[in-house]
Amino acid sequence: MKTNKIISKLALVLLVSIVTFSCKQDPEVVLKTDSAITSFALDLTSLNAYADQTIKAAVTVEIVGEEIQINLPFGLKADTITKLLGNNAAVLQVSEKATVSPASGTPVKFNVNTPVYYTVTAEDGISKTAYKVRFFETAQNGYGVVSEYWRKKGSAFTDKFTSNNEKTFALTPTHIIQQIGGLYNNTTLKLVKLSILDGSETGYVKLIVAPGDTIKQIRGMAGDRKGAFVACNIALSGADFKVWIWDNADATPRQLIKWNVSDITPIGTPGANHVGRRISVVGDLKTDAYIYSYACFSLDILRWKVTNGVAATNPEIIKYTPGGSMSRFEYWASIVPLGATASSDILVNAACAGSETGVINGTTKANYMFAGGVATPKGIAQFIEYNSIKYYVVLNVEAYATPHSVNARLYNYTNTINSTLMGDNWWLTPVPEKIEADGALANGDATGCVDAILDADGQGFKVVAMGTGCGIVVTKFSKKREKTF
């Protein structure tokens, strides 16, 4: 009996186990939904024949969102592009267990007229991502890719350019503040606000400093590239040199500097020592900055320190020692600070009694480098740093051509450590387009102004060149731009 009971219990346990096991469901299989391209590599073997392997190294690929951006070096020839992209078997990697069409390693003819898409399908067969292939040309050696932004003839302004009158402007992140008239202390002065995006005129800058005190003459202007800008008059020895400041394009001006021109050391036979033909700014005018100018018919550079928005009463006078044939500053020179501290080096571009570009050590105030014959015809220059490249930006005036024309030229100053390097490879290419004068001009009319400012998005910078009697041309330099072929 006992045995039967044991057998019955075992049978019951076995039955329960069978029922329990049979009631369990098979585990659910979850299919992956990832549908991404994780890497994309072009076949670059067509470039192996080129001796310059920097071309091959400059071809890069970025996956940005749902785009495959193929970056080609700027200036790559059309036949080279065709060899590279006409039948390219790119190798891709995609999400685990996903598939892609066209498949990795499949020869594809790339062009911009018939967009190519790579479609990744996830393991579940439902989730899909289509990646569009786009093409860009990118800067080489850090140089910006150039594309003309806009241009405007002097005769196209509401207040038209007049002969040998418009000499200067100031840049802000949103505006070009263009001086029109008022060069010779008369009542015709206007400061026109131009949109930096398209050159449209958006009104005038205020010129009334205080009741009964209106600015009537402006000879030099400069912006701090943050929104504030300054303008100055031209003052003979014994007269007051004045600098006014605007916190922005809509602000009321106030006087920042009033200095009686004195202590200038004339060189040779003076043609009346004076200050104010050019003015430069580095730093933030609302907090800490430096303002530079120079005295004509001398070798004196003037520097005012601005602290908490207040300028020093008197300037520091820095003596420039020419390195070549130049004997003194005359009408055409630029003082270009290479940094915003008292010890920053200072670059001098002088087209005066002999032409040269020289550099002053900011600490010792001694020249350590110069190059003769590389100064621009009118000695007008600026400086900007972008994408780890230091650009020396100069106004290029073809004063003796018919018709007169003007544009900006750029020089890579990054690794310039001696006079030989300063003179080598003077101009970068490509060259921004020129803007020509409306008619014949006297040589004295062929002057102007140049400056540069970084784009707010960090993707490039703009260079603004203005030529008296010519107009304004704005050129954009970018990390890359879309390529057509």
Q: Compute the average pLDDT of residues 233-246.
A: 94
Q: Which domains does the chain have, with CATH numbers?
A: 37-138 (2.60.40.2340), 145-479 (2.120.10.10)
Backbone angles phi, psi at 416, to 5 degrees: -80, 115
User: Residue 446: what pLDDT?
Assistant: 65
The pLDDT confidence band at residue 181, using thresholds 50, 70 and 90, is confident
Quote the CA–CA distance of 479 and 143 in Å, as a whole number. 8
* 5 vs 481, residue with greater confidence: 481
Position 397 pLDDT exceeds 80: no
pLDDT confidence tier of residue 185, bands split at 50, 70 and 90: low
User: Is the distance from CB of 219 to CB of 168 less than 8 angstroms?
Assistant: yes
Q: Region 451-470: what's the mean pLDDT? A: 89
Least confident range from 10-19, 62-71, 204-213, 340-349: namely 10-19
pLDDT tens digits for range 120-178: 999 999 999 999 999 998 876 656 677 778 999 888 999 888 766 788 999 999 999 99
C-alpha span between 50 and 349 (Å, rounded): 40
pLDDT at 67: 97
- Give the pLDDT band of residue 307 (cuts 50, 70, 90): very high
| Predicted model pTM | 0.81
Distance of CA 76 to the CA centre of its chain: 23
DSSP 2: H
199-204 contact pairs (CB < 8 A, 24+): 199/150, 199/151, 199/152, 199/472, 199/474, 201/157, 201/158, 202/175
8 Å CB contact between 145 and 199: no
The torsion of the CA quartet 407, 408, 409, 413, rounded to 10 degrees, works out to 170
Separation CA 234–CA 217 (nearest Å): 8
- Tell me what pLDDT residue 428 has: 63
Q: What angle do CA 452, 455, 456 make, to 5 degrees?
A: 135
3-state SS record for 360-399: ECCCCCCEEEEEECCCCCCCCEEEEEECCEEEEEEEEEEC
Mean pLDDT throughout 277-286? 96
Strand partners, 221: 231
Band the pLDDT of 270: cuts 50, 70, 90: low
What local confidence, expressed as pLDDT, does residue 10 receive? 46
Segment 309-366, tens digit of pLDDT: 999 999 999 999 888 778 888 888 899 999 999 999 999 988 776 678 889 999 999 9
In the block, tokens 């263009």 appear at 178
The answer to whether 244 and 182 are in contact (CB under 8 A) is no
Work out the mean pLDDT of the chain and round it to a whole number: 85
Q: What is the share, in percent, of the chain residues with pLDDT greater than 90?
A: 49
